[in-house]
Each structure stands twice: as C-alpha cells, then as structure tokens.
Structure 1
Amino acid sequence: MTHDHRTYPPLDTLKPIAQDIWIVDGPIIEFGMPWPKMGFPTRMTVVRLSDGTLFIHSPTPLSAGLKSEIEAEGAPAYVIGPNRIHYWWVPEWHTAYPEAKVYLAPRIREQAGKRITFPTNEITNPSGFPWDAEIATLPISGDFMTEIVFFHRRSRTLILTDLIENFEPEKLSNPLMRLVTRLGGVQAPDGQMPRDMRLTYRRNKTDLRNAVETMISWNPERIVIAHGRWFPADGANELRRAFRWLL
C-alpha cells in the first residue's frame, strides 16, 4: 500500500508515545486559499483516563482497523474538537460512539453548519470537566478562533493543535510549499505559530503570553501537534523556542 509522502505512516493506527497515551497519524487534508492549497498531515491524540475510558482529541477518520484497536484499549467517553477548523471527523466518531460526550471549541458549530446537528458541549472555561483531575484544559482566544490546549499531567504531554506547526521540508516536494512554510514560520526544525495566526492574536497578545507561560510552567516532556513533526522530548524548551517572538 503506497502512502502520500507528506504523511507519517503507518496511518490510522494507535502509536503509543507514553503510558496510556497514543497518537494516530491520519491522511492529508487540503486547506487554504482557493490556490495554492496546502496539504496538511493530520494527527489525533488518545488518552486513557484512570477509569479506563478514552479521551479522543482532534479525531482522524475511524477506519475498521482503528476502531478495533481503540475498543481494545477502552471505551471513548469524550470526543474533542479543539478549534474551529478541527471538527471534520467528529460526526463519524459520534455515530460510532453515540454515548460519548462531544466537547467543541467555540465557533465550531457555526463553522460546521449542518455537519454537526447533534448535542454538544462548548469549552469556554479552564475547568469544570470530567477529566479535570488528569488533564488540564486551557482555552486560548484569538480574533479568528479559540484553541483549547490540554496537558496530560501523568505523562507530562502537552496536546496542541495549530498553535505550533512544524512541516518537514523533505516531505514537501513542491518548492512553493517549502517557501511558504519557511516564510510562514512553520518549517521544521523551527516550527512556530503560523505568522497569519499570530496576527489574529494581536489584541490578545497578553493573554497569549500568559497562556504560553502557563504551558512552560507545566514543564511538558513532549508536545503533540496536529501538523508536521511533533516534539517527543524537551517540551518546555521547545515552547520557549517556538514562542521566542512573543516572550
């Protein structure tokens, strides 16, 4: 089976990164202006909570093989859409696991339109969730979107979505995309918050800085991101590096 060279195979399978936490690398989604569209590799994070249930962050497609793997590890209890552009496969998981509660970042419902018509919960506060004892929740609001950041305390894993992107140039065969990612500040090994996204935090710069300082104070060991190479070690220093323009 051939894979798109921009992805992180094997796809649609649980990959353990610490005790009770896995990532799943998914397919490419094309996103951006009508032209040029940019191909984004996708990534989900799965956390098993102490009661054995699963916390599903930024779901990727639920293949039959992945469904079997998931159910061998626990029952999905919470399905999370962490920002307004990360919701596409939430309905698929809701259909498969109707008993799981869906939690969405602000503005997902308006963005998704008829794609999400079932009951959901909106994440606007940093606490008051069933997972509070094990996973910290940190909403970070900008003009365009709010991203919900999570920190799994036991494994010291910080779970981001788009706050840092880290595209590897060798996975980008298109020279234009290599240039775009470099100019956009999202090229590995120095992936950061995309420059266009930074502009949407201009009015909330103090809040963003406070949030980054909170994340650093958690002293994460690893940082999972949705797009590009994630950071398996030295997480706090990776935050200092990626947000040096802000700090």
Structure 2
Amino acid sequence: MKDAELFVWSPVFYTEGLGAEVAALGEVRHLVAPNSLHHLFLDAWRQAFPEARLYAAPGLRPRRPDLIFDADLGDEPPPEWAQDIDQVLVQGNRITTEVVFFHRRSRTVIFTDLIQHFRPGWFTGWRALVARLDLMVANEPSAPRKFRVAFIDRRAARAAIRRILAWPFEKVLMAHGAPVEHDGRALIARAFHWLRP
C-alpha cells in the first residue's frame, strides 16, 4: 500500500522467518481476517506486530472472544486503505460472510473460500472423493458445492458478484489455489454462473 504500509490478508501460521520476510517489505499496519473461518493465526501475528490494527469479518468476534479487534469489516473499505484497496461483503451464506478485496494498483481481486482450486493429487483417500464432488479439484477455480448450497440469499450474493465484476481486475488470488495471472474477470464470471436467476 502507500508509504510501504502492509495489509496482511488471512495470516497463515506464523514463524519468525516469515515475520522477518514480511517486515522487510514494509510496516505491517493491518491484519485482516477476511471471513469467520480464517482466523487461527491472528493472535501470533498480533503479538509479532502489536502496532498493527486487527480487523474482523462479520461473525468472527463471537468465535474469537480472546482477541481484541480494532474494527469490523463492512461493505465499504475503511479510510485507512480506501485509496489502495476496495472491498465488498458477499452475504447470504450460512457458512460464512466473506469479504472480497480488490487491490487497485495490481488489478487483483482477492477471494478466500468462495473460490478454490486444488491440484489433482492434493487430497487422498476419501478426502479426494469429497474434494472432487465438492468441485475443489475441478478443471479451473470454482465455487465449492458446499458454499453454493449454503447461499440462502442469492439476491444478495448476485449483487456482490456484480460489484466484483465491475472492478477493473485482471488477476485473481485465492487462499486455496494458485494465482490466476490473466483473464480473471472471465474466470470469476464462469465460477459464479450458477448464481444467475
């Protein structure tokens, strides 16, 4: 972000080596839990970067009463990063409400769990069968079936996807899959075609 400020999205397992690599990039100012499922390592990152602000996705505060959050994520970006990053809540899902982000300078949209793509062989045994049925190992990134079925307010979801598709993005990052470098908009449109009325 501007002035070498860092926005750490969905922090992974913390190690001192990883923390040093991240700190070498700039100052960690924002630690972001993008949905109520991606929160396991927030405390370690908060301890490593105590000056950073901690942001909670909708539904996360009750799950993590041990953490003191500085702010809640909403349907619009807070002033701290509004010039660099846009965001939208994808609401209406029984599993979680996910905040999808758009990093303006890199023209990258950032998904957490609503789009996934594991390589063949990632899962073994019965998990491989479940992953295949759930579309997690499809030909390209897609919305897993469990999330599709969990949308009880498809009108709200469609409105969020329309906003996402209006962003001028080219690339797609996701927590569970390799980055997509080209034609991201077409991929997202295909991934959510099932939401059409």
Determine the structure 1 residue equivalent to 2:79: 129
Please point out which of 30, 34, 40 is paired with 1:88: 40
Give 1:185's aligned residue.
Answer: 135
Q: Does 1:232 align with 2:184?
A: no
Q: CA RMSD in A?
A: 1.6
Q: Which amino acid aligns with 1:81?
A: A
Matched, 1:120 2:70: yes
| Structure 1 unmatched runs, 5+ | 1-48
CA distance in 2, matches of 1:188, 1:155: 27
Q: Counterpart in 2 of 1:57? A: 9
Task: Give the whole-Å Cα distance in 1 for the aligned partners of 2:122 and 2:146.
Answer: 22
Task: Give the drift of 1:120.
Answer: 2.7
Aligned residues: 195
Shift of 1:55: 0.3
1:81 & 1:96 partners in 2: Cα distance?
16
Give SS of 1:145's match.
coil
2:155 is matched with which residue?
206
Q: Where does residue 101 of structure 2 map in the other structure?
A: 150
Cα distance in 2 between the residues matched to 1:216 and 1:144: 23
Matched, 1:68 2:17: no
Deviation at residue 133 of structure 1 after TM alignment? 0.8
- For residues 81 and 155 of structure 2, the distance between their equivalents in structure 1, rounded to whole angstroms, comes to 27
Deviation, 1:175, is: 3.9
Pairing partner for 1:107 from 59, 77, 86: 59
Structure 2: distance between partners of 1:120 and 1:194 = 31
Residues 219-247 of structure 1, C-alpha deviations (whole Å, 9 max, x = no match):
32111111133322210011012112113
Q: 2:14 aligns to what SS in structure 1?
A: coil
Structure with greater helix share of residues: 2
In 2, Cα distance between the equivalents of 1:84 and 1:75?
25
Separation in 2 of the partners of 1:128 and 1:66? 27
**Structure 1 stretch displaced more, 230-239 or 152-161:** 230-239
Q: Which amino acid aligns with 2:157?
A: L
Partners of 1:149 and 1:238 in 2: CA distance: 15
Higher relative contact order (CA 8 A, sep 6+): 2
2 CA distance for matches of 1:90 and 1:129?
A: 22
Structure 2 CA distance for aligned equivalents of residues 104 and 110 of structure 1: 10
Contact 1:188 1:229 (C-alpha < 8 Å) held by counterparts: no
Q: CA deviation at 1:75?
A: 0.8
- Using the size of structure 2 for normalisation, the TM-score is 0.92
The 3 A distance-change label for structure 1 pair 188 and 129 is: farther
1:207 offset after TM fit, Å?
Answer: 1.5
Structure 2: runs of 5+ lacking an equivalent: none
CA distance in 2, matches of 1:82, 1:169: 26
Could you tell me which amino acid in structure 2 is paired with residue 199 of structure 1? V
Residue 54 of structure 1 aligns to a residue whose secondary structure is strand
Amino acid at match of 2:74: T
Q: Which amino acid aligns with 1:244?
A: H
Contact 1:219–1:235, Cα closer than 8 Å, also in 2: no
- Stretch moving more, 132-141 or 187-196: 187-196
Is the CA contact 2:98–2:114 (under 8 Å) kept in the aligned structure 1?
A: yes
In structure 2, the residue matched to 1:26 is none
CA contact (8 A) 1:168 1:189 kept: no
TM-score (norm: length of structure 1)? 0.74
